[in-house]
Amino acid sequence: MQIFPDDRAVNAVLEPLALAAGRRIMEICDRGFAAEEKSDCSPVTEADRDAEAIILKGLRESFPGIPVVAEEEAAEGHAPDSVGSVFFLVDPLDGTREFVSGNGDFTVNIALVRDGTPVIGVVYAPARRELYSGYPGSASMIKTDADHGPLDRRAIVVRDGCAPLTVVASRSHNTPDTDAFIGRYEPALRVSVGSSLKFCLLACGEADLYPRLGRTMQWDTAAGDAVLRAAGGMTRTLDGKPFRYGAGTAEGDAPFANPHFVAEGRLPRD
């Protein structure tokens, strides 16, 4: 039986891996790159692949035997058939469309899931030089320097929502159902942001609600969700149940697809 390190020790491994991946992404961004198209018509670049290689090498050296589900490996048909109760989810470059277009709303995402719950997560936005990090009892935002090394760290926490709510929505993947959901909270302030930064805005107390009534994958959401939960928020399915991770949570879809969800800070209750 493998003895798994405590949450703080795991987090201490994930943070530098995310920073190293972000450093490589920005090196490629600065020298130029070409985008390709995957079988699902989504873009992929050298930056996605190199960042994932850095993260996978680090995870498999530090935590041998713990399954890893990573976006680019999954796209090539290499996702594990079974992950058990503890596994990692990796999106090496969330928001590739933003990356390709020159928008800075892209992130590196690494999360540890335990018993269906994302308990540890790091989200690094290298163009913004902002690292968001969370595990039970600790949520923080770290500014980084020009070489993507950590500088100042500050604790973050969700805020108490009050009217009008600030609602964040996808910049590139909005849907009519999402618009209709947001309409329930009018008048609301709406902010469009790319990648998992939407979760981070809630975790920092800069927004209140993030509904996603469109298709996502678990590697898109787990790291940001972990940071949000560490900061006092929650992500739920549309029937109000806590959002869970693992193979088969979205009936009739791919093994690691997500059902629709709503992420929230501390909303006012009737």
Mean per-residue pLDDT for 24-28?
97
220 is in an annotated binding site: yes
CA distances, 138 to each of 11, 109, 180, 226, 227 (Å): 10, 17, 34, 11, 9
Mean per-residue pLDDT for 111-133?
97
Share of the chain above pLDDT 70, in %: 97
Q: Provide the pLDDT for residue 269.
A: 62
The CATH superfamily of 7-155 is Fructose-1,6-Bisphosphatase, subunit A, domain 1 (3.30.540.10)
Decide if pLDDT at 125 tops 70: yes
221 is in an annotated binding site: no
Alpha-helical (H) ranges within the chain are: 7-31, 46-62, 71-75, 96-101, 176-183, 197-203, 218-230
Mean per-residue pLDDT for 162-182?
86
Question: Coil, helix or strand for 227?
Answer: helix
C-alpha–C-alpha distance, residues 226 and 111, integer Å: 7
Residue 80 CB partners (closer than 8 Å, separation 6+): 67, 68, 69, 87
Mean per-residue pLDDT for 61-70?
95
Residue showing tokens 């790091």: 122
Mean per-residue pLDDT for 57-62?
97
Q: Check if CATH label 3.30.505.10 holds for domain 166-264.
A: no
C-alpha–C-alpha distance, residues 146 and 129, integer Å: 8
Please give the structure tokens belonging to residue 19.
């920073």
Q: How does pLDDT run across 8-19, given as a tens digit for each residue?
A: 999 999 999 999
β-bridge partners, 262: 211, 236
249 is in an annotated binding site: no
C-alpha–C-alpha distance, residues 90 and 108, integer Å: 8
Mean per-residue pLDDT for 216-230?
97
Q: How does pLDDT run across 193-211, given as a tens digit for each residue?
A: 989 999 999 999 999 999 9
Q: Provide the pLDDT for residue 37.
A: 84
Q: Provide the pLDDT for residue 1.
A: 38
Decide if pLDDT at 232 tops 80: yes
pLDDT band for position 110 (cuts 50, 70, 90):
very high
94 is in an annotated binding site: yes
The residue ranges of every structural domain in the chain are 7-155, 166-264
The count of C-alpha atoms lying within 13 angstroms of the C-alpha of 254, restricted to the half-sphere facing its C-beta, is 16
Q: Which residue has the higher pLDDT, 61 or 187?
A: 61
- Going by their DSSP bridges, the two strands 189-193 and 209-212 should be labelled as unpaired
Closest Cα partner for 141 from 100, 202, 66?
202
Decide if pLDDT at 3 tops 70: no
Closest Cα partner for 21 from 128, 147, 108, 129?
108
- Going by their DSSP bridges, the two strands 261-264 and 234-237 should be labelled as antiparallel
Please give the structure tokens belonging to residue 85.
């109760």
C-alpha–C-alpha distance, residues 63 and 4, integer Å: 8
Q: Provide the pLDDT for residue 162.
A: 84
Q: Which residue has the higher pLDDT, 102 or 53?
A: 53
Decide if pLDDT at 268 tops 80: no
115 is in an annotated binding site: no
| pTM of the predicted model as reported, rounded to 2 decimal places | 0.95
Decide if pLDDT at 2 tops 60: no
